[in-house]
Structure 1
Amino acid sequence: MEKANKFWRWARNKLSDPANPGQETEERTLFLDGTIAEESWFDDDVTPALFRSELESSSGNITVWLNSPGGDCFAAAQIYNMLRDYKGKVTIKIDGLAASAASVIAMAGDKVLMSPVSMLMIHNPSTVAMGSTDEMQKAIEMLDEVKNSIVNAYQTKTGLSRNKLSKLMDEETWMNAGKAVELHFADGVIERSSLYGRKPETEPDETPAEDEPDERSTSEKESDEVEPKSMLFSRYRAAAAMNKKLCDYCREHSEKPPDNEKQAKVYNTGRSVEDLEKRLDLMKQFI
């Protein structure tokens, strides 16, 4: 019986062996869903030893379907190391979200693929601390070391500089499949036929016959093989851009005190002070 607080589960699939036509081979699938070690990772029955024993209970290639908002970075680090040390080929498929600690696990794949509608997010590690200034300084130093260890995983996969990766983490960066492939966090986009092993519905062959001219425009022909557009979102950049727009608007629309009676008419809103006070009193009733 599975433990109630396990955040992973296994499945076995029978696949045709391309090397031996007519024969089947077995491939295991690991599903990592939800928070990584939401309750505990060391102090209860859901332990690193249990995960390792299940991982090594069989051989062969494995596919990992990953959909997680993150969680315990130390648990993610151990899972990363176990997958990297596994003898068979590990393919990571992100079908929803690989955020925070889950993005570290994603870097363990020999091949990393993302669904066209999935997202990957990286940011700085965080913790809760209390105590004296010495205790606060220890927490800061610990977070710096944790960040460096996470950068190691990202750099091994992407080849990007540590400064570039550190800046992306500082800005809490969100990437769609296209951007993740562009920055080498992922190797490709999951094709429709491989999503959960489903085959696409039969569709009519719209390819023009050899004796029929292809009258489509150049843009229509090029759209047959369109790569997902890349998108990178930083919460801090978005906030900074919004603040800049607000400041620019205030500077452009700031009202100066009228110099004479003629100018005063331009700034007259037509509302009396009593009317404004009534509207403010009305608003207070709903606050």
Structure 2
Amino acid sequence: MRKFWNWVKNEDGRTLFLDGVIAEETWFGDEVTPKQFKSELFNESGDISIWINSPGGDVFAASQIYNMLMDYKGHVTVKIDGIAASAASVIAMAGGEVLMSPVSMMMIHNPMTIAFGDTAEMKKAIQMLSEVKESIINAYELKTGLPRTKLSSLMDAESWFNSKKAMELGFANGILFANESAQASPEEGIIYSQMAVVNSFLHKLPQKEKKTGTDISILDKRLELLKY
């Protein structure tokens, strides 16, 4: 049986890699798969890191993984290095800390299914999808704190988030490989850069005035333009 997960143990602890489509082997009628994952997860204790690169898959399989990780006693750190889309984004919400690569993406959308039958069966399918959506929103709401109506609208639109947008909305807590200053918002970064230039300019201003005798009022006006 080919698994969509892989555990690696080293001096830093345990790392779980979730790659590819979730539940490539069906979880329906196959109790070995969820039991095996749970056995491997709880086989040892301690903090764990989870690397996710998955387009999603079976929402019920993802829900089981989410529940297992939420119930795990150690600290769970999620690291998204490629994509965490659809059901994979649900698993990501189990992280006490969610970190995204600066080139990674997250995508959320409405659940989908295949249904056949008469009008009554179609209505049942619609109702089922509605309830599944509400259960997914539960996980998103718990992580982000966003209103349910906002989350529902984002799912309706099939929303894609880069790392900064995911942080802004609360789906992620930080960006991998970035220092503290690099994680500031674009506006903060621009302000910091402008102020650095201004301070550097002011520091050199007295020396330049002595050498050239430039009118200080002209420099003041240029400085005001630079700040703006």
- Same fold, TM-score > 0.5, yes or no: yes
Report if the CA contact (8 A) 1:178-1:228 is conserved.
no
TM-score (norm 1): 0.62
Report if the CA contact (8 A) 1:32-1:64 is conserved.
yes
Report if the CA contact (8 A) 2:104-2:162 is conserved.
yes
Structure 2 gaps of 5+ residues are 187-228
Residue 227, structure 1, aligned to residue 183, structure 2: yes
Q: CA deviation at 1:229?
A: 6.8
The CA deviation string for residues 34-76 of structure 1, in whole angstroms up to 9 with x for no partner, is 0000230133365211110000000000000000000000000
Runs of 4+ in 1 over 4 A off after TM superposition: none
Aligned partner of 2:53 in structure 1 is: 67
Residue 6, structure 1, aligned to residue 13, structure 2: no
Aligned partner of 1:77 in structure 2 is: 63
RMSD: 1.7
Report if the CA contact (8 A) 1:40-1:46 is conserved.
no
Report if the CA contact (8 A) 1:30-1:64 is conserved.
yes
Alpha-carbon distance in structure 2 between the residues aligned to 1:44 and 1:170: 32
Which of 1 and 2 has higher RCO (CA within 8 Å, sep 6+)? 2
Residue 95, structure 1, aligned to residue 92, structure 2: no
Q: Equivalent of 1:37, from 10, 23, 45?
A: 23
Q: Equivalent of 1:159, from 135, 145, 149?
A: 145
Superposition pairs of residues 135-214 of structure 1, within 5 angstroms:
135-191=121-177
Alpha-carbon distance in structure 2 between the residues aligned to 1:9 and 1:106: 16
Report if the CA contact (8 A) 1:5-1:46 is conserved.
no
Q: CA deviation at 1:98?
A: 0.1
**Counterpart residue type for residue 181 of structure 2:** E
Q: CA deviation at 1:226?
A: 3.5
Bigger radius of gyration among the two: 1
Report if the CA contact (8 A) 2:89-2:108 is conserved.
yes
Alpha-carbon distance in structure 2 between the residues aligned to 1:52 and 1:227: 35
Going from structure 1 to structure 2, the CA distance change for 1:10 and 1:151 (only over 3 Å counts) comes to: same
Structure 1 gaps of 5+ residues are 16-26, 194-223, 231-287
Going from structure 1 to structure 2, the CA distance change for 1:46 and 1:229 (only over 3 Å counts) comes to: farther
Q: CA deviation at 1:148?
A: 0.1
Q: CA deviation at 1:192?
A: 6.0
Going from structure 1 to structure 2, the CA distance change for 1:61 and 1:189 (only over 3 Å counts) comes to: same
Alpha-carbon distance in structure 2 between the residues aligned to 1:228 and 1:75: 36
**Counterpart residue type for residue 227 of structure 1:** Q
Q: CA deviation at 1:105?
A: 0.1
**Counterpart residue type for residue 156 of structure 1:** L
* Number of residue pairs aligned between Structure 1 and Structure 2: 186
More helix by share: 2
Aligned partner of 2:116 in structure 1 is: 130
SS in 1 for 2:67: helix
Report if the CA contact (8 A) 2:3-2:25 is conserved.
no
Q: CA deviation at 1:225?
A: 3.1
**Counterpart residue type for residue 14 of structure 1:** E
SS in 2 for 1:47: helix
